[in-house]
């Protein structure tokens, strides 16, 4: 790709399961893209679609005035955005950084202050809609931060999302995302319990799932997990990532003195699964293995 002006270029850091299709959609909407990922294969893939490959986060920021960060953890976000060789080392006053990861709201506020001292904007815009939404460009972005910074980043967010909701100051978008994830992730444990109980009682798993999909027990979490369990498809959203989310949910609740009985119980079930080596498998489907081991049944479609 030839040299391109910064004000016409979007930067993207973190080309994982969600990031790769999100970055692709930015280009499909006509934006120039410069990207970086520590995995060379992911970087090569987006470059083959027309993006310019950068050498690191600072290099991305030197070439783009709106930069997306879509990494996994709070520590990674801190390193990529304000660490040595991070976005902060290449960005200019007036630029906007968009953190789209589900990370610690407290760290987001600290990074916001650090960047603001240099005239650089930061908003948080974590998304829901999973991989299918990332591919279709129908993600829902929950935004926190300055309204003017949001407006500068809005055309980029619209390239990836079908809905953008501004929830208030920096960090509030991530708080909203944590609440949404709490509902989905806790329900995932209940889905596994229900299907194992029904199977142990002699119900046909396939018939049971088909019935629930048309009944009051249905939910988005059930629609995601149940077919995967029947198919024994354990690839998807890694349980280690969900464990990170649950840690953040519990941490937020402690800071506000809010009890989370069900969330803490669900967290322990996920910990059991991770202790059995299931951390890299899909959280909603693989959690069933914990209950299957205890009960001696297998929930499998016929």
Q: What is the mean pLDDT of the chain?
A: 96
For the beta carbon of residue 219, count every other beta carbon within 10 angstroms.
18
- Check whether 3 has a pLDDT greater than 90: no
For the beta carbon of residue 207, count every other beta carbon within 10 angstroms.
12
**Percentage above 70 pLDDT, the chain:** 99
Give the domains, in start order, of the chain with CATH numbers.
6-169 (3.40.50.720), 175-295 (1.10.1040.10)
What pLDDT, on the 0 to 100 scale, is given for residue 90?
97
Instruction: Name the catalytic one among 45, 132, 177, 300.
Output: 177
Report the candidate in 239, 298, 292 with the shortest Cα–Cα distance to residue 266: 239
**Would you say 167 and 176 are in contact if contact means Cβ atoms under 8 Å apart?**
yes
Note the pTM of the prediction, 2 decimals. Answer: 0.92
177 is annotated as an active-site residue: yes
What pLDDT, on the 0 to 100 scale, is given for residue 1?
40
- Phi, psi (rounded to 5 degrees) for 152: -65, -35
**Percentage above 90 pLDDT, the chain:** 97
pLDDT digits over 27-51, tens only? 999 999 999 999 999 999 999 999 9
Kindly list the distances between the CA atom of residue 258 and the CA atoms of 212, 242, 254, in Å, as whole numbers in the listed order: 32, 20, 6
């Amino acid at each position: 790709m030839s040299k391109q002006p910064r004000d016409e270029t979007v930067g993207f850091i973190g080309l994982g399961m969600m990031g790769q299709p999100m970055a692709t959609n930015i280009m499909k909407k006509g934006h120039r893209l410069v990207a970086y990922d520590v995995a060379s294969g992911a970087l090569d893939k987006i470059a083959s679609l027309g993006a310019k490959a950068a050498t690191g986060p600072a290099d991305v920021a030197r070439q783009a005035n709106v930069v997306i960060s879509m990494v996994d953890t709070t520590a990674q976000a801190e390193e990529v955005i304000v660490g040595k060789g991070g976005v902060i080392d290449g960005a200019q006053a007036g630029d906007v950084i968009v953190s789209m990861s589900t990370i610690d709201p407290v760290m987001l506020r600290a990074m916001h202050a650090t960047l603001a001292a240099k005239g650089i904007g930061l908003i948080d815009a974590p998304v829901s809609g999973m991989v299918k939404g990332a591919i279709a460009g129908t993600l829902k972005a929950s935004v926190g931060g300055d309204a003017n910074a949001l407006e500068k980043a809005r055309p980029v967010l619209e390239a990836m999302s079908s809905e953008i909701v501004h929830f208030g100051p920096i960090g509030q978008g991530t708080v909203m995302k944590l609440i949404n994830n709490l509902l989905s992730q806790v329900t995932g444990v209940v889905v596994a319990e229900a299907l194992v109980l029904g199977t142990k009682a002699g119900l046909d798993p396939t018939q049971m799932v088909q019935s629930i999909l048309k009944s009051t027990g249905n939910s988005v979490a059930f629609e995601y997990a149940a077919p995967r369990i029947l198919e024994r498809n354990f690839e998807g959203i890694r349980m280690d990532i969900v464990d990170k989310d649950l840690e953040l949910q519990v941490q937020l609740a402690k800071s506000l003195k809010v009890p989370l009985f069900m969330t803490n119980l669900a967290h322990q079930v996920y910990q059991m699964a991770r202790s059995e080596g299931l951390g890299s498998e899909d959280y909603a489907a693989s959690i069933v293995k914990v209950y299957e081991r205890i009960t001696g049944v297998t929930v499998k479609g016929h």
